């Protein structure tokens, strides 16, 4: 029997394509308006949490990040910075698997704090990768004061996205929508 069912694959494809399309259409507009690198973090992490709640299998969020990266390269071939989010999906997936969130996702206070912390950590890693490998150091110094502030802003986007993802999951559960 296959590890991911056809429903799991459909959910991964749905969340991946949503992230890629929002990154393609909305993220550049948001960046030009604010020069804040938080929108992709917010969308990605909220979808990570929805994916974790929906499938509850290790590897789902990582595959979502991989497919979103491939779709991102198709839609925006020059957006190599998205590789930072691929690593963030790996960090998020490994962290949730190690802490046991994949099997039990009761969103009590400890779980909420843990998921927000994992969201912060994964997007912080993405910020460091993007800042070090894909951004102009002079731009980072001028706009953000350096790589640490840039990565911290990514982390803040992860916190906002983590809270947003938890709120979405709680709203789905309140409406009696449960994953299969």
| Domain residue limits, the chain | 6-174
Specify the pTM. 0.90
CATH of 6-174, one of 3.30.70, 1.20.1300, 1.10.1760, 1.10.20: 1.10.1760
Highest mean pLDDT among 2-6, 67-71, 114-118: 67-71
Contact 35, 143 (CB under 8 A): yes
Per-residue pLDDT tens over the stretch 115-161: 899 999 999 999 999 988 888 777 777 777 788 888 999 999 999 99
- 171 falls in which pLDDT band (50, 70, 90)? very high
Average pLDDT of the chain is 89
CA within 13 Å, CB half, 18:
16
Mean pLDDT in residue range 8-23: 95
Percent of the chain with pLDDT over 90: 63
DSSP 81: G
Query: Would you state the pLDDT for residue 108?
Result: 61
Q: How far apart are CA 151 and CA 165, in angstroms?
A: 21
């Amino acid at each position: 029997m296959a590890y991911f069912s056809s429903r799991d694959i459909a959910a991964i494809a749905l969340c991946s394509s949503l992230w890629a399309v929002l990154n393609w259409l909305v993220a550049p507009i948001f960046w030009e308006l604010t020069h804040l690198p938080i929108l992709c973090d917010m969308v990605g992490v909220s979808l990570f949490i929805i994916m974790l709640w929906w499938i509850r299998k290790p590897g789902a969020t990582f595959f979502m990040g991989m497919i979103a990266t491939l779709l991102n390269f198709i839609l925006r071939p020059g957006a190599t910075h998205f590789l930072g989010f691929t690593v963030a999906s790996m960090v998020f997936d490994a962290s949730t698997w190690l802490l046991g969130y994949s099997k039990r996702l009761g969103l009590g206070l400890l779980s909420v704090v843990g998921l927000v912390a994992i969201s912060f950590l994964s997007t912080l890693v993405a910020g460091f990768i993007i800042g070090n490998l894909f951004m102009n150091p002079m731009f980072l110094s001028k706009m953000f004061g350096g790589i640490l502030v840039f990565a911290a802003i990514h982390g803040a986007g992860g916190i906002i996205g983590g809270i947003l993802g938890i709120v979405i999951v709680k709203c789905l559960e309140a409406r009696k929508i449960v994953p299969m």
